[in-house]
């Protein structure tokens, strides 16, 4: 029983998020990876070196360039004939594409799975991570999106898979790519970062958010996250949102500054190895899940913390 994984990339580089799906899929059978794109030879080269990948299928067409679901879904559905499982990482790309594939295949989808129990049994979070359901299916085909933080990344080297060209499907022309604006950042990518520093509404303004959190992130080499409230108030860009409707992170260290700890936020960070909370309200729910807490004014505590960290790191 083999698994087809859809690689996420920008035609230049493989998104490391895909490596987590490889690890989950390896529990189900032989892993093949589809690289569909335009001028994406370098991506196929990178994928063939990923440990655990048996074959790379490469489809080239101009209409695959922007990763549009309308164009990719018919290709994946055609290739799916040879696979029992179709999988991708539960990123914006995977979430957008895979349900469209599932419907074309008339197959059920298990979203955001956190555990592969066996070939028919999977665990996934529901109700913002307040419960986990174990689902079972003997369906002929199953579509899966994988929660990256629940599986280690497969090694990016050590593999030597064969690359096979596969014919492109015709252009659908239902939708047209117009533009893309990416947040520019020198920092590690939020979902891959080992340390994440996050701020909430208590920061008060975009200026304060940056003034307080940037030195802390700098000294730790951390990514910066935010609550929905901080994003809505435009203290931080939308793609920095951590939580049920934003990104799910599980870094080694998560520092929550001025974050109360609403369930919609903790859904996105409660699997962090060590959680630190800095909040002036000793009753804030974030202290119920924090390994270390400081009750105090973040505008005083965070600069002190930066000073102390500079002495040791």
Partner 1 sequence: MKALVAVKRVVDYNVKVRVKADGSDVDIGNVKMSMNPFDEIAVEEAVRLKEAGKVSEIVAVSLGEKKCEETLRTALAMGADRAIHVETDAKLEPLAVAKMLKTIADKEQPQLLLLGKQAIDDDANQTAQMLAALLNAPQATFASKVSIGDGEVTVSREIDGGEETLALKLPAVISTDLRLNEPRFVKLPNIMAAKKKPLEKLTPADLGADTAARLRVVKVSEPKARQAGVKVADAAELVAKLKNEAKVI
What is the enclosing helix (H) or strand (E) of 289?
none
Q: Does residue 206 interact with partner 1 by CB under 8 A?
A: no
Residue 136 marked ligand-binding:
no
Q: Give the Å distances, CA to CA, from 53 to 56, 88, 168, 283.
A: 7, 14, 22, 49
Choose, by CB under 8 A, the member of 121, 157, 160, 205 that binds partner 1: 121
Asked if 226 interacts with partner 1 (CB under 8 A), we say no
What are the C-alpha distances in Å from 23 to residues 5, 156, 245? Answer: 11, 11, 24
Give least dist CB 151 to partner 1, A: 16
Question: Exactly one of 1, 81, 167, 174 binds partner 1 (CB under 8 A); which one?
Answer: 174
CB of 160 to partner 1, least distance (A): 30
Is 93 one of the binding residues for partner 1 (CB under 8 A)? yes
Q: Pick left, alpha or beta for residue 129 (phi over 0 → left; psi -120 to 50 → alpha; otherwise beta).
A: left
264 near partner 1, rule: CB under 8 A = yes
Chain positions 9 to 28 lying near partner 1, rule: CB under 8 A, are none
How crowded is the C-beta side of 218, counted as CA atoms within 13 Å? 11
In the bound complex, what is the minimum distance in angstroms from residue 161's beta carbon to partner 1? 26
Out of 131, 167, 186, 283, name the contact with partner 1 by CB under 8 A.
131
Q: How many residues bind partner 1 (CB under 8 A)?
A: 91
- Residue among 51 and 253 whose Cβ is closer to partner 1: 253
Q: Is the dihedral of CA 115, 124, 191, 198 positive or negative?
A: negative
Sheet architecture: strand order including 109-113 = 109-113, 142-146, 85-89, 3-6, 31-37, 53-60, 162-165
- Feature table: binding site for FAD: 201, 227-228, 241-245, 258-265, 279
């Amino acid at each position: 029983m083999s698994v087809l994984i859809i690689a996420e990339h920008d035609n230049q580089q493989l998104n490391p998020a895909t490596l987590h799906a490889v690890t989950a899929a390896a529990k189900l059978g032989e892993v093949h990876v589809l690289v569909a794109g335009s001028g994406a030879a370098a991506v196929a080269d990178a994928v063939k070196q990923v440990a655990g990948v048996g074959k790379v299928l490469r489809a080239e067409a101009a209409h695959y360039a922007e990763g549009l679901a309308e164009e990719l879904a018919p290709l994946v559905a055609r290739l799916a004939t040879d696979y029992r499982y179709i999988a991708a990482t539960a990123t914006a790309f995977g979430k957008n594409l895979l349900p469209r594939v599932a419907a074309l295949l008339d197959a059920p989808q298990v979203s955001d799975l956190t555990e592969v129990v066996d070939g028919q049994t999977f665990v996934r979070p529901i109700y913002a991570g307040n419960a986990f359901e174990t689902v079972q299916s003997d369906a002929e085909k199953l579509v899966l999106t994988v929660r990256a933080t629940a599986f280690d990344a497969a090694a990016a080297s050590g593999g030597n898979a064969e690359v096979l060209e596969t014919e492109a499907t015709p252009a659908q022309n239902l939708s047209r790519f117009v533009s893309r604006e990416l947040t520019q950042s020198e920092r590690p990518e939020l979902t891959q970062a080992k340390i994440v520093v996050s701020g909430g509404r208590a920061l008060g303004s975009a200026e304060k958010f940056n003034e307080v959190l940037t030195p802390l992130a700098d000294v730790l080499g951390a990514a910066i996250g935010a609550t929905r409230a901080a994003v809505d108030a435009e203290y931080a860009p939308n793609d920095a949102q951590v939580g049920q409707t934003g990104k799910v992170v599980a870094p080694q260290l998560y520092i929550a500054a001025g974050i109360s700890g609403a369930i919609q936020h903790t859904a996105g960070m409660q699997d962090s190895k060590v959680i630190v909370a800095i909040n002036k309200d000793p009753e804030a729910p974030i202290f119920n899940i924090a390994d270390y807490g400081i009750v105090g004014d973040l505008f005083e505590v965070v600069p002190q913390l930066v000073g102390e960290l500079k002495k040791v790191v």
